[in-house]
Structure 1
Amino acid sequence: MAICIPPPESMHAESAGERRLYDALRSGLSDEYLVLHSVAWIAKPRGAGPRDGEVDFLICHPRRGLLIVEVKGGRIALDYAGRNWTSTDRNDVEHVIGNPFEQAKKGKFAILEKLKESPLWQKLGIGRFTLGHGVVFPDVDDADRLQGPDAPRQIIGDRRTLSAISAWVEGLHDFWAEPTTASSASVIGTRGIETVRRIFARVGTTRALLSARLAEEEERRITLTERQSVILDMLSRHRRVMVAGGAGTGKTLIARQKAVRSAEHGLSTLLLCYNRGLADHLRELSADVEGLEVATFHQLCRRWIERARIEFGRDLVAEAQHDYPLGNEYDHHQPIALALAVDLFGFSYDAIIVDEGQDFGDEFWMPIELLLSDHADGLLYVFLDENQDIYRRSAAIPIDGAPLFLDRNCRNTAPIHAAAYRYYRGDTIEAPAIAGKAVELLVSPDRARQAAAISNLVTKLVAEEGVAPHDIGVLLCNARDRQDCERALLRTTIPKQANWGRLEGYRPGSVTVDSVARFKGLERPIVILWGLDGCDPVIDREILYVGMSRAKSLLYLCGTKDTCDRLVKASVG
């Protein structure tokens, strides 16, 4: 039985003929074969722009080489003189189609082009190898009648082929193989097969959303769920897509993975977000990825603005302020200045991936589009959670249609999911199948005693339970209370291997103390949510939702008894 990607339970095909051929290949070929269905890619040949490619089937054998197979359903009619092809469906409706043999041939050479540009393939040093193509018409029994100058009988399959698929595939290999007396073809081998799989059907994994230092100590990986993998595959077939989902559904993981894939495909790629802490973290994780730039939107603005000042002596922010005096610097003048800078220097990126898209204002999107090498059809992917709109932006995202939706929480435990999603509004998000401890309350009547309760908890976690201090975050719902809360904590005592620190000072041994707003997009195994007194479950819904959902394993709420009881029992989603 052949190894097939995707596996049968995940295989989706609009064409019934593709499904029948998939089943025939899977059951009729040996396990030496790797069969990839619906293979899509973006190639960027040297000196050329991005090119999309897709084939119905890629059949791989370590000794025989690679075969590209196209599938055309319905009753087929052709006119080689007029170069006309038609397919008649089950409702007797005739459709004009392209020449499937020409499509298969183009797919074959595009596959070769994609392999040659991959550093992974280049390292193997494989020279010329057997590469062929064929076409299967699964709804007809007499496809031999479709022979033509570019369609010899040996590369044509029909309904009869499905019951003798092994012989047909072997015959296709034989047809395209070099003559044995003059063969100079290489054998791609098992390493070649694995490299093909990595290039066209790689399973993506990424680190948990903690700093690189935490990842090294924790040595954990978050494997993309099947749903997330399907989203990544779907993104390979679209140029502009929004992806939405609740907290913990893997949006940032997928955004980073998509950015890495784009860069590895040779595209100049920009990964943008709103929060500096998230950008710093993603930049650390992506430091070794060539062709990938990571920044917050305003870091990007400042970089281009400074470049204009150095190279042209122009103060673009001042120019924007002069032309638009009623705006403010961050929401209006810096985005306008970035657009002016793009006019000066030209576009810069083949692909732009935006995380935290709900926090991007209307004025942000025009310069983002201008930065694309293809303004009208450039690769733009936006990931967002409308429930995390704590900056209350009104983002006119330049992507038509409804977003793809992630519907499974893969970050939190079930009790944390239940607590956070009490404040969520939107489509149902499936709770994680991770049993965990109930959300705990640190009840104290005032700030000083609340700080002492937090200090005692941190001491217990670090000294008695062996928790690393940097796995703990104290998040404040009201950023205006930060200095007072920090001073209250500094008057307490915690183990000497731990210290209180802000997000930008994150390091081993540092317990993060910062606002929920600055912590957006990040997570910690343990979160203590503080500054709750005065929070209103309705007015502060987004802050509570974001703050609670940052916790992976343990969540503590710290406040007065009335506050904690009210927030735990609230129902505002």
Structure 2
Amino acid sequence: MARLIPNIDVDEIDLKPERDVARALVDQLPNNVLVLHSYPWLRPDRNDRTGKVTLIEGEADFLIVWPEMGILVVEVKGGTIKYDADNRGWFRELGSYSKPIKDPFEQARRNSHQIVGLISNRVYGGNSPPFSHGYAVIFPDCIYSGALPPGADAAITLSSNDLSSIADKVARALRQWARTATPYAFSKEELGKVQRAILPAFNILPVLFRTIEEQEERLIRLTDEQIRLLAFLGDNKRVAIEGVAGSGKTMLAKRQAETFAEKGMKTLFVCFNKELANWLKQELPGELDDLVHVHHFHALCAQLCRRAGIGFNPPERNSEHFWKEEAAYLLLDALEFIHEQYDAVVVDEAQDFYPDWWEPLEQLNEAKENGFLYVFYDPAQNLYNDGKVFVPAMGEPFRLPTNCRNTKAISGTCSKILKREIATHPLAPDGVSTEFITEKKHKIPPAIDSMVKQLIAVDKISCSQVVILSPNRFKNSCLNGLNKIGEQKLTFDTSEWRHDEGILFSTIRSFKGLEADIVILVDVVEPGSVEHFGISDLYVACSRAKHILKIVSDRKIEDLIV
């Protein structure tokens, strides 16, 4: 039994004449024969009158590839067919009406020349193929008598009588077309090339930037929990919101600050991370600048100390005590000399705030502990307090358990890191699995270089969509010494990165609170094996990726996560 292409049941062929021919061919021809039904071709052709190149199309009813015999194009003319010898005209009889049709032998000839020409160009460098090739016409609903018309021969003219012996008739036609005494048989390699010529491997691959665009539309920014929370916040003065990474805490904090300002309330918006504060300043509506003051905590301390004439001079070495405690004490001192009051205070990244920071923030609130205070935090992202969260007593927190920023694949990686399930919105895209790449240290920079080239040149990703994160500062990272990656500028400036002027390199802790479509995580070691890289750091790093996460290391990090 021959193989029919497309791979369908013969009964699915709509036209009965073609269905009957297909069944005869498939049933009678050997197993290694290909029978292609409705094989289309398309070629450019110059119009002699206009000079314009246009496309000419055609379709062979059947294309038979018989490895031991050759290639035959078969034209099927079903129904009652008539030939007018005086005018060389062909007609199909439709009751009392005769419909002119094309010369079937000319159609078969034209189709054969186009298909064999295609094979010639793709396999034999434009030379005539060595195998037997030609065409035949079959009238499955008719028999014929008399002399054959010009352009026809008995060997290539088949009728309904020939359906029961069609394999013999196809072999006879190919022997008649052969230029040699015996038919030319394809070698295995040659047959493969001919098949690829008529059935080329046309691969349709998703373009990554389009995939990301589609996924971005599906990422649900406001879950049902968040919608309920927005309504809930308006009736409460002191609220704590605890949420997993990607649950929209920063977005809600920003929206709440805007809500306060829209009511005419002077609002202090404080976070831990300097880069997050810079991003929030850019994202807040310009008309609210006078009412919403955005600072990371230490910048707030420095600014108010300067206004109060108090020195704010962190030591170059052993500065940890200064940043954890002394800065907050200096801020309290400054508030005794200046009058700076707010109607509301909004705090993001509160899990990283130290105990002594809350008193000056309460002092900045016009109504002190009775004023509006909104605190957003995620205990799992605690990078500085040894796992302890020092949030003021504000009653039971409102919890946001659903990740609505990351794909399900990335959220799944984060779940494995924390060893607990993180809920994702049911409509969130599945995304692609986290890619773990293990390379020797000296091979990591070229590997990342190739990765970035692929993303930019082939996948059409913008620089502003890619960030390289490391637990280490650049001078201690595997990329130290590079100023370009994947032929793109390597930048440490988030503003340049956002303006698509380079690929950003950042430490994990500096990038906390921000996000990128694609995160490449490098210099990864076993969490806890070095002081500045624990489970929380790995969780924070991975949860920064919205769509694509690649983890590159010289050790099997996947085993540590799973």
TM-score bracket, shorter-length normalisation:
0.5 to 0.7
Please point out which of 472, 476, 493 is paired with 1:479. Answer: 472
What is the deviation of 1:500?
A: 3.9
Distance 1:493 1:267 in 2: 46
What is the deviation of 1:547?
A: 0.6
Distance 1:487 1:396 in 2: 37
Distance 2:280 2:220 in 1: 15
Distance 2:319 2:278 in 1: 32
Equivalence for 1:521:
513
What is the deviation of 1:426?
A: 6.8
What is the deviation of 1:223?
A: 4.2
| Contact map agreement 1:260 1:289 (CA 8 A) in 2 | no
Output one character per residue of 1:354-392: Cα deviation in whole Å (capped at 9) or x when no partner: 000000001100000000010131000000000001112
Equivalence for 1:469:
463
What is the deviation of 1:441?
A: 2.1
Distance 1:471 1:407 in 2: 26
The structure-2 alpha-carbon separation of the partners of 1:307 and 1:444, relative to structure 1 and needing over 3 Å to count, comes to same
What is the deviation of 1:397?
A: 2.1
Equivalence for 2:303:
303
Equivalence for 2:396:
402
Equivalence for 1:135:
none
Equivalence for 1:362:
355
Equivalence for 1:351:
344
Output one character per residue of 1:453-491: Cα deviation in whole Å (capped at 9) or x when no partner: 111111000001110011001110x2256544342544x
Equivalence for 1:412:
406
The structure-2 alpha-carbon separation of the partners of 1:366 and 1:327, relative to structure 1 and needing over 3 Å to count, comes to farther
SS at match of 1:338: helix
What is the deviation of 1:400?
A: 2.6
SS at match of 2:373: strand
| Contact map agreement 1:482 1:514 (CA 8 A) in 2 | no
Distance 1:429 1:537 in 2: 29
Q: Which amino acid aligns with 2:343?
A: D
What is the deviation of 1:533?
A: 3.2
Equivalence for 2:286:
288
Output one character per residue of 1:392-435: Cα deviation in whole Å (capped at 9) or x when no partner: 26443223322100011110001100001212267853456312
Q: Which amino acid aligns with 1:299?
A: A
The structure-2 alpha-carbon separation of the partners of 1:334 and 1:547, relative to structure 1 and needing over 3 Å to count, comes to same
Q: Which amino acid aligns with 1:546?
A: V
The structure-2 alpha-carbon separation of the partners of 1:317 and 1:483, relative to structure 1 and needing over 3 Å to count, comes to closer
**Structure 2 unaligned spans of 5+:** 1-212
| Contact map agreement 2:247 2:400 (CA 8 A) in 1 | yes
Give percent identity, aligned residues only. Answer: 30
Distance 2:254 2:344 in 1: 12
**Structure 1 unaligned spans of 5+:** 1-214
Equivalence for 2:321:
328
Q: Which amino acid aligns with 1:543?
A: D
Equivalence for 1:342:
335
Distance 1:427 1:463 in 2: 36
| Contact map agreement 2:409 2:433 (CA 8 A) in 1 | yes
The structure-2 alpha-carbon separation of the partners of 1:421 and 1:508, relative to structure 1 and needing over 3 Å to count, comes to same
Distance 1:380 1:520 in 2: 22
Distance 2:311 2:456 in 1: 50
| Contact map agreement 1:531 1:559 (CA 8 A) in 2 | yes
What is the deviation of 1:315?
A: 3.6
1:442 and 2:451 correspond: no
Equivalent residue runs for 1:512-551 within 5 Å: 512-536=504-528, 540-551=534-545
Q: Which amino acid aligns with 2:487?
A: P
| Contact map agreement 1:271 1:292 (CA 8 A) in 2 | yes
SS at match of 1:512: strand
Output one character per residue of 1:509-542: Cα deviation in whole Å (capped at 9) or x when no partner: 3211111111100000000111113445997211
Structure 1 length as normaliser, TM-score? 0.55
**Structure with larger Rg:** 2
SS at match of 1:514: strand
What is the deviation of 1:564?
A: 2.7
Please point out which of 258, 261, 264 is paired with 1:263. Answer: 261
SS at match of 1:295: strand
The structure-2 alpha-carbon separation of the partners of 1:374 and 1:504, relative to structure 1 and needing over 3 Å to count, comes to same
Distance 2:274 2:257 in 1: 18
Distance 1:239 1:427 in 2: 32
| Contact map agreement 1:537 1:567 (CA 8 A) in 2 | no
